[in-house]
Amino acid sequence: MSLNQETKIKNIWYFKGREPLIEAKRKGRNQSFYGALNLKNGKETAITVKRQNSKASIGFLKKLGETYHNRKIFLIWDNASWHKSKLIKAFLKTTKQFTLMNFPPYTPEFNPQEQIWKALRQNVTHNRFEKDFDVLIKDCLKYLNRNNFKSIKFESLFGRD
């Protein structure tokens, strides 16, 4: 997920013929997040990264490995090009901890992590402007790492009770 700090113009009411002038300042800052949901216990593991790429993905896999104390991890993730790169394949040859699989292309509705990103936006970032972008980033991480998420949509799609 990528978070940016900029003015977002939403629907507003105005008199016909008198369209309001709204000053919008674009901020040059953005922040990327990686996250994974443990479907057994609802625990989210999330980190921030400068960019989403193969190196960041490997860093996230290492974080997951540490979090789960070198236990076997079965991870299903989206079809981002960097998830299927030569660097990822080379990393996987160095460890037997991970089994990786991709969701079908263009099916975010199957990915429970997308529901987490949606909840994050609704509960933390929507209708909020934070002058100090670092505060917003910290609030996002706090929300992700402190909440216990239940993956109802994923369970209903795949028949888990």
Domains of the chain by residue range: 32-158
Which stretches in the chain have pLDDT values below 70?
A: 5-12, 20-28, 151-161
pTM (2 decimals)? 0.79
Q: What is the pLDDT of residues 70-111, one digit of tens each?
A: 799 999 999 999 999 999 999 999 999 999 999 999 999 889
Strand order in the sheet with 26-37: 2-6, 26-37, 44-49
Q: Report whether 33 contacts 49 (CB < 8 A).
A: yes
User: What is the pLDDT, as a whole number, of residue 88?
Assistant: 98
Superfamily holding 32-158:
Ribonuclease H-like superfamily/Ribonuclease H (3.30.420.10)
